[in-house]
A and B are shown apart, each in its own frame.
Chain A
Amino acid sequence: MSKQEQMQATLDALTRAIPGMKGSFLCTFDGMPVCQSITDPGVDSARVAAMAATALGVGRRITETLSTGTLRGIKLVAAEGRIFIYMVGSKACLALVAPSDTNVGLIELEVADVITQLTAIL
């Protein structure tokens, strides 16, 4: 399997594992989309990629300035959904768009595995 296929399979499995997930997205630190697994066709992957990079970029400056160690991720809590953005190694961002009643514990467990898998692939 090519790297692309491996990443696709990993993201597809993640999107399937979490009920109601709208999509999972892998992108570069400068906001370019790499791979995505989407159940909601209304979500614009290119937009998500750019915004995830911006959010993590700002997050990293905040954690550096406040000396809280290396940033691992960001959570956006909104009225109609939750968005989780994680660092994957030192090159990529993983963004998840989930419903607001999503099982956060399950997401944390699944994402930990996914980050390990994606880091090995990249």
Chain B
Amino acid sequence: MTPLKIVISGPVGAGKTTFIRSVSQTEVVSTEEVSTERIGKTHTTVALDFGQIALGDYVLHLFGTPGQSRFDYMWDVLSEGALGLIVLVPCDAPNEFPQARRILEFVISRQPVEFIIGLTRTDLAADGWTAAEVAAYFGVPEQQVLALNPRDAAHARHAIHQLLQRV
């Protein structure tokens, strides 16, 4: 059976590479390089992450994108033929919300894919934005926003499951 393609995107530092590394059942191909900008971590994805997971009868190919706008051609390339999109958004960095929206609109305007928003860092920030607030910002129903910890494989699997329900 043909593998299904899911794209994981979102602004820098949202947890895309971490998400794929947590949930992939095969060794993840990453393309991280030393970041010359201050982004709160030492490395950043310059091309893609690739992982695989089997869910029920389906084999899913997971593609993570870079977060910076200078790599927007990768949002385009990686979204081609995708079944669905998970946009990860850090709840404690509302300054990154416009970038998340930019990515979402960029992808959806080119191909109408189903998406969910994964709200990350809710375990790390005491006063981060809630799922309801983020849903209001993006103009989507609250059910389309899921709080998740990208380090937790069960959370990540659940998010993918929720996305597949929408497809």
Contact = CB atoms under 8 A, between A and B. Distances in A.
B47 A54 contact: yes
B74 A54 contact: yes
Nearest to B44: A30
Contact of B36 (A28, A54, A57, A65): A28
B31 A57 contact: yes
A66 to B, nearest CB: 13
B36 A30 contact: yes
B31 A61 contact: yes
Contacts of B33: 29-30, 53, 57
A54 B34 contact: no
Interface string B73-103: 1100000000000000000000000000000
Interface residues of B, number: 18
A46 B75 CA distance: 17
Contacts of A57: 31, 33, 46-47
Interface string B5-42: 00000000000000000000000011101111100000
Per DSSP, chain B at the interface is loop
A53 B44 CA distance: 11
Contacts of A51: 73
Interface size class of A (residues with CB under 8 A): 10 to 19
Interface in B57-73: 66, 68, 70-71, 73
Nearest to A28: B36
A51 B66 CA distance: 12
Contacts of A50: 68, 70-71, 73
A51 B77 CA distance: 12
Contacts of A20: none
A32 interface: yes
Nearest to A29: B33
A98 interface: no
Interface of B: 29-31, 33-37, 44, 46-48, 66, 68, 70-71, 73-74
Interface of A: 28-32, 46-47, 49-51, 53-54, 57-58, 60-61, 65, 91
